[in-house]
Amino acid sequence: MLTLHSFVISHFSEKIRWTLLATGVPFVERALTPGLHMAVTPFIGRHGSTVPIVTGDGLRVQGSDRILHRLATRGLIDRLLPDEDEARDEALAAAASHDGLGRAVLMAAYAPMLSDPREIIRVWTLASNAAEIAVLKAIMPLMLPAFRRRFAMNDAGIARARAKIEAALDSIAERRGNRPYLGNAFGIEDLTLCALLAPLASPDQHPLYGSPDFRAVAADSAAAWLQHPTLAWVREVYAQHRTPEPADSVLIRAAKRL
């Protein structure tokens, strides 16, 4: 069985979690604590501290796009891909092309929380134990400046991220037109875009992003786009295609602590 090593709050982790759920691939999820994960990811993955990571059944793959490619190579996610080899490659490449949008959503979502590190600690420790919470609180004054630098979390960087999101939302709406999906059927690019935009769309079917508490946290970053046709589409796709979480899943347990 596969193990998904994730951040429960991460939309990149959601992309892989949803992919595995949608294709019926058996897996268990192991949630890591952001910041503290750097002590364990070198022993789990292959490329530094990047999350998500999938291990098991002979796999050790790090990074959501690499994971999708390896799962596709094994034929595990065929129901989300076209039948023809060239079209499959194009679909995976299209999904991978949206990583920049995912980073922009991360920046926009965290921007309102930067003035209150307690809020960051709260959303980072939804699946953490008491000892991990205590350590994160102790090191947050050192971590927060590094986090700001890594993601260019300054006024100019956040403005660029918001502009990227705005352009992407308009582009997706134009590409899709009146169609329910970007292609002929629900596929990996639809899933990827919806997962990466879910923190802004707050779909009911996501235990964390759809909760009233998370919506309150995200309100400042998402308010300008909440009625955008693309975010409405994200919510529609979640309603139709997001496989329900098992009752005892890591994500549901985390949502109860939000």
User: Angle, nearest 10°, between helix axes 130-150 and 117-124?
Assistant: 120
Confidence of residue 106 (pLDDT cuts 50, 70, 90): very high
Structure tokens at 130: 């008491």
Rg (CA), the chain: 18
DSSP string, 231-253: HHHHHHHHHHH-PPPPTT-HHHH
Nearest 5°: the CA angle 243, 102, 154 is 140
pLDDT, residue 146, reads 87
Question: pLDDT (tens digit, 9 = 90+) per residue, 36-65?
Answer: 887 888 888 777 778 999 999 999 999 999
pLDDT value for 150? 84
CA distance 80 to 132: 37
DSSP code of residue 97? T
Distance CA 149, CA 107 (A): 12
Average pLDDT over residues 124-145: 93
CB within 8 A of 36, min separation 6: which ones?
Answer: 128, 132, 135, 136
CA 220 vs. chain centroid, Å, equals 19
* 138-168 residue pLDDT tens: 999 988 888 888 888 899 999 999 999 999 9
Confidence of residue 251 (pLDDT cuts 50, 70, 90): very high
Q: Which fold has domain 2-85?
A: Glutaredoxin (3.40.30)
pLDDT of 216: 85
pLDDT at 198 over 90: yes
pLDDT of residue 28: 96
